[in-house]
Amino acid sequence: MSTRTTGSETPQVGGTPTNARRTAASSPAPNRETPWEHLPDVPSGLRPVLGHVAPAPPTVHPGTALAQGGCPVPHAESGHVLLGHGAGGRLQAELLERVLLPGLRTDGRPSGRPLEDAALLDWRPREESTPTADPDAEAGPDADLVISTDGFVVHPLFFPGGDIGALAVHGTVNDLAMRGAMPVALALAAIIEEGLPIADLQAVFASVGRAARAAGITVVTGDTKVVERGAADRLFLTTTGIGRRIPGLRPSAGAARPGDVVLLSGPIGLHGITVLSARGDLGFEADIASDTRPLHRVVRALAPLGADVHTLRDPTRGGVAAALTEIARDSGVEIAVDELALPVPPAVAAACDLLGLDPLHVANEGCLLAMVAPDRADAALAALRELPESRDAVAIGTVAAGRPGRVVMRTGLGGIRPVEMPIGEQLPRIC
């Protein structure tokens, strides 16, 4: 992607994201005789930890094509599960549609409904609820209870700005919020590898407690399993959240309409680049922190707009590109975004330049996309900017009838390029 920033200063978290674009200049081939100080385009926050240009070799994760000596783009027909099947891109969509969902459906046929971040529940007794001819159908639009479940396998367990415990709470609260719900209760299960330091386990669960209290939610039930060394990687968490919908809000991934304005509540790419930097695999460190945070208060700020808020989505795995592609597909619309409007922080842009990543594909854990009726977009932006969690909210594009399922970008040079959902894994185990 060509969205980049300028400057050689050390990037700071919490500063104003830049929307500037620069043309990538050619740089000398890395070698030990070329110190970082002679490369002005590399911010000091991204200089190698060891003080020389040549970075440490990246970790090749087992099960990837690279580990098998093949092409780095995963081959979907290998007959085995790949890391890319859990990365939020095209491979994951294929795994769901071809392997997982057919086994869960009553008749094995596609339901035709969007795959939402959370499901609606009709809690009324059967004799009071509206009967449906489709046993696979979700509860009706008037249902006010929402449920979501999520798994967390982030590596490392602790990273700047957060840890697996806070991430588990925030991720579940946010999935509920994307259906217009405030959190009510949380269930938590832990799979613990033998040998995990007790101090690490205590730190994670203390973080779960702090994050839950801050979000106004209580962990009401859970489960704990311990497996032998090597059967898991330190600690995995699974959560289930229950929420109650805010009156008047009925957002859905399939409800975006032509004419809608696409809003983004804050900077992108912070979480993915932070976790990658914390691993130390690539020999660089970035002066940034994860954006992990709960977004239910941001959604509540949009409640006065009611039915004019058509779609909400948090762009986690697969990033903004995957989220927009899913919305365009499920709503049967075309979405166009403006490259110069995208809030890419300087450190994220520099890291993506260095590693060959597209900021639109990098995971986020503290921002949301909203599709809002055009005559209410200004009011929505004003409401978002009143909150510290979304003070940098911007309008990044529009929805059109166009070609259903297509997402395009208006580039800084005035051209148009397609925005594709990522194929496999760029940054495995990011959440």
DSSP letters spanning 114-133: ---SSEEE--S-TTTSPP-S
The residue type at 212: A
- As a three-state string, the secondary structure of 131-194 is CCCCCCCCCCCCCCEEEEEEEECCCCCEECCEEHHHHHHHHHHHHHHCCCEEEEEEEEEEEEEC
The pLDDT score that the predictor gives to residue 126 is 56
Rounded Cα–Cα distance for residues 261 and 263 (Å): 6
Asked if 251 contacts 311 with a C-beta cutoff of 8 angstroms, the reply is: yes
Asked if 40 contacts 8 with a C-beta cutoff of 8 angstroms, the reply is: yes
C-alpha pair distances (Å), 167 with each of 174, 185, 263, 430: 10, 16, 23, 10
Rounded Cα–Cα distance for residues 273 and 269 (Å): 6
Among candidate residues 286, 251, 271, the one with its CA nearest the CA of residue 43: 286
Asked if 116 contacts 253 with a C-beta cutoff of 8 angstroms, the reply is: yes
Neighbour-count burial of 103, counting CB atoms closer than 10 A to its CB (0-12 exposed, 13-18 middle, 19+ buried): exposed
The pLDDT score that the predictor gives to residue 65 is 41
Structure tokens of 54? Answer: 């040549």
Structure tokens of 378? Answer: 């200004």
The pLDDT score that the predictor gives to residue 101 is 72
Low-confidence residues of the chain: pLDDT under 50: 1-75, 108, 131-136
Residue whose entry in the numeric block shows the structure tokens 């991720």: 171
- Which residues are paired to 397 by β-bridges? 262, 337
Domain(s) labelled CATH 3.90.650.10 in the chain stretch across 261-418
Rounded Cα–Cα distance for residues 330 and 307 (Å): 18
The pLDDT score that the predictor gives to residue 91 is 74
pTM of the model: 0.77
Domain 117-125+140-245: homologous superfamily in CATH: PurM-like, N-terminal domain (3.30.1330.10)
Domain 261-418 architecture: Alpha-Beta Complex (3.90)
Residue whose entry in the numeric block shows the structure tokens 């959560």: 239
Whether the bond between 102 and the residue before it is cis, its omega within 30 degrees of 0, is no
pLDDT tens digits, one per residue of 217-250: 999 999 999 999 999 999 999 999 999 999 999 9
